Amino acid sequence: MSSLSQSSSEAAVSDLSLKLRSAPEPIQLQLIKDLQAAGASGCTVLMEFLLERSAVTEAVQPNLVQGAAYQALFSANLPEATAFLQTHFPTGVVPLRSMAGIDYAPLQQKLAEQDFQAADQLTLQKLCELAGPAAVQRKWVYFTEVEQFAIVDLQTINALWLVHSEGKFGFSIQREIWLSLGKNWNKLWSKIGWKSENNWTRYPQEFTWNLSAPRGHLPLSNQLRGVRVITSLLGHPAWSKPYISPP
């Protein structure tokens, strides 16, 4: 690269860096993609940005911008980016809080890898762990067990889905859509791609395991067992309580 071209490239990255710190969230998300495309210099900006944000932002709610910056660095496949994340964010940008002593690091890892099918399976596994040994053995949960889930744990699972999907997936997104449709289940199934006309989407081959899926498409929340489980999930107090900050 000529010195002129290099200078122009550095100026462009510097301009993106300045905009990133002052732009509204939707523009920040696009700027993060632009910086990722800029290669190593763009990743350096994202590393600085992520450190700045983590130092001054209280985790009162899932932060999609921090999640997008983390995701861009995770998928950059640059040694310096990998080392940075391992040093400063070894378990991601979402505090992995649990009142039940459950390890959510495997779920965070699969979501960071954008392996949404494996993450969906892990989500059901973690819900079973929340429900107790009997649910773990049967590999699904009763709606009455969902009602007893700790708010903190559901918020952690939901936050992980949110920040690793650009705010597209998560129980809170499904709840938002469900409420907007007057709690009409048939309309919800169609809206989030779980049903087409009168045909249920077949698991797993007909589900969309990437970000091209309809908003709210994932996680599946054991949808094949009727509406009782998802009714309990979407009606859980976790979504009407503030996001609980880590100690």
Q: Does 240 or 68 have the greater pLDDT score? A: 68
pTM of this structure: 0.92
Q: Does 233 or 224 have the greater pLDDT score? A: 233
Q: Distances from the Cα of 239 to the Cαs of 49, 150, 188, 209, in angstroms? A: 29, 12, 18, 25
Whether 96 is covered by a domain: the verdict is no
Indicate if the pLDDT at residue 50 is higher than 70: yes
Task: Read off the pLDDT of residues 156-212 as tens digits, 9 standing for 90 and up.
Answer: 999 999 999 999 999 999 999 999 999 999 999 999 999 998 899 999 999 999 999
**pLDDT of res. 60:** 53
Task: Read off the pLDDT of residues 82-133 as tens digits, 9 standing for 90 and up.
Answer: 999 999 999 999 999 999 999 999 999 999 999 999 999 999 999 999 999 9
Indicate the number of domains in the chain: 2
Residues 27, 122 share a domain: no
Q: Using the 3D structure, point to which of 88, 114, 139 is the last residue of a domain.
A: 88
Whether 51 is covered by a domain: the verdict is yes
Residues 53, 25 share a domain: yes
Residues 142, 80 share a domain: no
Residues 201, 115 share a domain: yes
**pLDDT of res. 246:** 55
**pLDDT of res. 89:** 95
Residues 194, 72 share a domain: no
Q: Does 36 or 54 have the greater pLDDT score? A: 36
**pLDDT of res. 106:** 98
Residues 180, 118 share a domain: yes
**pLDDT of res. 3:** 41
> In which band, very low, low, confident or very high, does the pLDDT at 10 lie, cut at 50, 70 and 90?
confident
Whether 7 is covered by a domain: the verdict is yes
**pLDDT of res. 1:** 46
Query: What are residue 24's phi and psi, to 5 degrees?
Result: -65, 160
CATH code at position 152:
1.10.10.1770
What is the three-state SS of the chain? Answer: CCHHHHHHHHHHHHHHHHHHCCCCHHHHHHHHHHHHHCCHHHHHHHHHHHHHHHHHCCCCCCCHHHHHHHHHHHCCCCHHHHHHHHHHCCCCCCCCCCCCCCCCHHHHHHHHCCCHHHHHHHHHHHHHHHHCHHHHHHCCCCHHHHCCCCHHHHHHHHHHHHHCCCCCCCHHHHHHHHHHCCCCHHHHHHHCCCEECCEECCCCCCCCCCCCCCCCCCCCCCHHHCCHHHHHHHCCHHHCCCCCCCC
Residues 167, 129 share a domain: yes
Residues 109, 226 share a domain: yes
Residue 33: exposed, middle, or buried by beta-carbon count in 10 A (0-12, 13-18, 19+)? middle
Share of the chain above pLDDT 70, in %: 90
Residues 128, 8 share a domain: no
Least confident of 25-29, 59-63, 83-87, 197-201: 59-63
Rounded average pLDDT over 13-25: 90
- Average pLDDT across the chain, whole number: 90
CATH code at position 71:
1.25.40.620
Structural domain boundaries enclosing 79: 3-88
Q: Using the 3D structure, point to which of 57, 88, 119 is the last residue of a domain.
A: 88
Indicate if the pLDDT at residue 62 is higher than 70: no
**pLDDT of res. 223:** 54
The owner of tokens 């040694």 is 79
